[in-house]
Chain A
Amino acid sequence: MSSIKIKLKEKDIAQIDEICKSFNNEPGELINVLHKVQTTFGYLPAEVQDVVANKLNMSVAKVYGVVTFYSFFTMIPKGRFPISICTGTACYVRGAEKVLDEFKKQLSIKVGESTPDGKFSLNCLRCVGACGLAPVVQVGEKTYGRVSPDLVKDILKNYE
């Protein structure tokens, strides 16, 4: 559940309206609408879902149902430094899971969450095509290779 409360600006609402209109306010286009809205806002907070539901003339419960069904959708804003851990096969067998656990421990957040100060967010991704460097971690634009759990602290230090 999201604990973030935001107030949408008129301009944001207009933007959502625009997106919904571009799909003819078709309830059947919900997934596409949400996709586009998430690309625009970065995430789908409750208030945004409420507006989408209104525009598409459907219940907000249904919208929330779809948002929670697809792991692509997120209700939490990305941190300023989004951390992605590759859990593709190569990284996985070389211990990506332990690295992930260490990040969770250090930041006290779960996958898909952000730290309360909005600095870091944590996500997994599938193979980034750098299997030679496995396990691979990306922070923002930067890629770290051969990461082991004891390196996690050092990586985070770079962003202090």
Chain B
Amino acid sequence: METIKLTIDKKLVEVEKGTTILQAAKKIGINIPTLCYMNLGDMNIENKPGGCRVCVVELEGRRNLAPACATDCAEGMVIHTHSIRVLNARKTVVQLILSDHPFDCLICAKSGNCELQSLAHKLGIREIPYQGEQSTYRKDTSPAIIRDVDKCIMCRRCEVMCNEVQTVGVLSAINRGFHAVVAPAFEMNLDHSVCTYCGQCVNVCPTGALTEVDHTNQLINDLADPEKTVIVQTAPAVRAALGEEFGLEAGTLVTGKMASALRELGFDYVFDTDFAADLTIMEEGTELLDRLSKHLAGDKEVKLPILTSCCPAWVKFFEHNYPEMKDIPSTARSPQQMFGSIAKTYFADKIGVDRKKLIVVSIMPCVAKKYECSRDEFKVDGNPDVDYSISTRELAGLIKRANIDFLSLPDEDFDHPMGESTGAAVIFGTTGGVIEAAVRTAYEVYTGKTLKKVDFEELRGLEGLRSATIDFDGLKLNIGIAHGLGNARKLLDEIKAGKSMYHAIEIMACPGGCIGGGGQPYIHGDSSIIKARHKAIYAEDEGKTLRKSHENPDIIKLYEEFLGKPLGEKAHHLLHTHYFDRKKEIFID
């Protein structure tokens, strides 16, 4: 391997050929500030347009300053990363960006998390000597995401996420010069586009140009209303990330503190989406076995592979892009929606509250779930099964707003009956988890034997595409796993071409699965955080006494008392759904 020696800030450093100045500096502990640059190393995601020039450094013997993120090291280079020229240039660059940026930092949704704001602070900017024309673009509000393009700095990170990683292709740079913005085709609103609401663009936007729709004020009102019973469900990935917002190390589980915080906030019942995840496995697992046995018996009508259906961004993705295959995904609703549907029937009856007076709120690592709640098929006479969904970030904000000292809260349990769950449900929060949970149950139901070991290491990991073969007592089940919609597309194209060798496939829209969801605490480019959350999820699973969905006593009771059997008539009505052809739905306005 060819190496290069160079000097950065008087320190000698040796790097591989092809290393950028930015990376070389990082190696010796010098963090050059960046803005447009993005590198999510573990996920192979990079954006280096070299456009913003915040990362400039001085090279001895070169007249112009060079962007560190887009300049490769060369033998013998002598680099200064904080000379007066460099500091002044960086300051000017940021002042120029700010001259066309709204001044509403005080009330901006991104305040405190904005990379432009912290850069201005870091560079000691106290005035903006340039007076430029301010762009005035309309705000675009969809069911899940708000685009406030006046705050866009054209770093184009969102474009990389939406086009290269997710292959959805909603966002692109348009127009030129001052009028350049990132927008959907024909500047249509997001809700007219093929946007899946995966929220990955929100996750990487350095400013407040892309944010989630805020439901916290509605929640505060509902909690204060004595007429209403307000209940909450929390998704598995939330407990593995919420602590980050309170300074805890990434990967710290805060399940118990989260439950007490929710009680402090005033929810009448604190439940767990994990309960519904176990229910999902009962339905989806049964459906898998049903389709599998019919297929093996030679029924040509039954299509395989079966695809998981718990991710609403993924569901919208195939509705737009592969509607001809809409009978392949499992018809099981997502855990969020199963929870809502059971809460507003079974549970509402139990406590004698009318569904209109029962507010079901979900805490999700996700922004697509906000959109999912609003889908018509999940409403009864206009009343939604889940009233609205709050992101992990929004929950953290609410806890802070209510002066709750999160770190000193006691660990509490969820309420019954919809708070009981198994380890199988917990792992829904990470890529590979849903299918592992399904395998744990399907194996025991199919073979009639008890698993000696419930851990299926072969299904775990963070590679974008994975596969494994699981032995069901002689029947070899081929399983595929994809996270990130670009990876999903590869598996779908295989199926479309009739080349898929899988019996079952798990798909999650977000890289990492829900732990990397669009509503999680911002990772600011540190992908090791995703790994830490991933570990935490499996740790929580291991700590559970019950680790197979069909052993959840409250689920067993729910079927006995109310649902009958999996895939039965009532279950079909309350827990399953259908999909739409949205290919021609995008309209050009």
* Interface residues, chain A, with chain B CB atoms under 8 Å away: 1-2, 5, 46-47, 49-50, 58-65, 68-69, 71
B131 at interface by CB-CB < 8 Å: no
B169 touches A59 (CB 8 A): yes
B266 at interface by CB-CB < 8 Å: no
Q: Total contacts A to B, CB within 8 angstroms?
A: 51
Of listed B163, B186, B193, residue having the most chain A CB within 10 A: B186
A142–B193 CA distance with the chains assembled, in angstroms: 43
Neighbouring A residues of B171 by C-beta, 8 Å: 61
Q: Given A50-B588, A65-B174, A68-B176, A1–B163 Cβ distance below 8 Å?
A: no
Q: Given A1-B187, A5-B588, A64-B185, A59–B174 Cβ distance below 8 Å?
A: no
Neighbouring A residues of B170 by C-beta, 8 Å: 59, 61
Neighbouring B residues of A63 by C-beta, 8 Å: 185
A94–B174 CA distance with the chains assembled, in angstroms: 34
A60–B174 CA distance with the chains assembled, in angstroms: 12
A54–B357 CA distance with the chains assembled, in angstroms: 48
B217 at interface by CB-CB < 8 Å: no
Please, which residue of chain A has its CB at the minimum distance from the CB of B163? Answer: A59
B 177-218 to A, binary, CB cutoff 8 A, 1 in contact else 0: 000000111110000010000000000000000000000000
B175 touches A59 (CB 8 A): no
A46 touches B588 (CB 8 A): yes
Please, which residue of chain B has its CB at the minimum distance from the CB of A64? Answer: B185
A60 touches B187 (CB 8 A): no
A62 touches B186 (CB 8 A): no
B154 at interface by CB-CB < 8 Å: no
Neighbouring B residues of A2 by C-beta, 8 Å: 186, 588
- For B169, give its contact among A46, A50, A61, A69 (CB under 8 Å): A61
Of listed A50, A58, A68, A71, residue having the most chain B CB within 10 A: A68
Of listed A5, A46, A47, A49, residue having the most chain B CB within 10 A: A46
A60 touches B169 (CB 8 A): yes
B186 touches A46 (CB 8 A): yes
B175 touches A62 (CB 8 A): no
B375-390 residues at the A interface, CB under 8 angstroms: none
Please, which residue of chain B has its CB at the minimum distance from the CB of A71? Answer: B176
- In the assembled complex, 5 residue pairs joining A and B whose CB atoms fall closer than 8 Å, in A order, are A50-B588, A59-B169, A60-B169, A61-B170, A69-B175
B172 at interface by CB-CB < 8 Å: yes
A61 touches B588 (CB 8 A): no
B 156-169 to A, binary, CB cutoff 8 A, 1 in contact else 0: 00000001000011
A119–B589 CA distance with the chains assembled, in angstroms: 23
Neighbouring A residues of B588 by C-beta, 8 Å: 2, 5, 46-47, 50
B32 at interface by CB-CB < 8 Å: no
**A50 → B minimal CB distance (Å):** 7
A59 touches B185 (CB 8 A): yes
A62 touches B176 (CB 8 A): no
**A141 → B minimal CB distance (Å):** 31
Neighbouring A residues of B163 by C-beta, 8 Å: 59, 61-62
Neighbouring B residues of A64 by C-beta, 8 Å: 172, 174, 185-186
A69 touches B176 (CB 8 A): yes
**A49 → B minimal CB distance (Å):** 7
Taking A2-B588, A59-B185, A61-B163 as known contacts, 12 extra A-B pairs with beta carbons closer than 8 A to each other, sorted by chain A number, are A5-B588, A46-B588, A58-B169, A59-B169, A59-B172, A61-B170, A61-B185, A62-B169, A64-B172, A65-B173, A65-B174, A69-B173
B185 touches A60 (CB 8 A): yes
Neighbouring B residues of A46 by C-beta, 8 Å: 185-186, 588
Neighbouring A residues of B173 by C-beta, 8 Å: 65, 69
Neighbouring A residues of B184 by C-beta, 8 Å: 61
**B373 → A minimal CB distance (Å):** 27
A68–B588 CA distance with the chains assembled, in angstroms: 16
A71–B172 CA distance with the chains assembled, in angstroms: 17
**B394 → A minimal CB distance (Å):** 28
B562-589 residues at the A interface, CB under 8 angstroms: 588-589
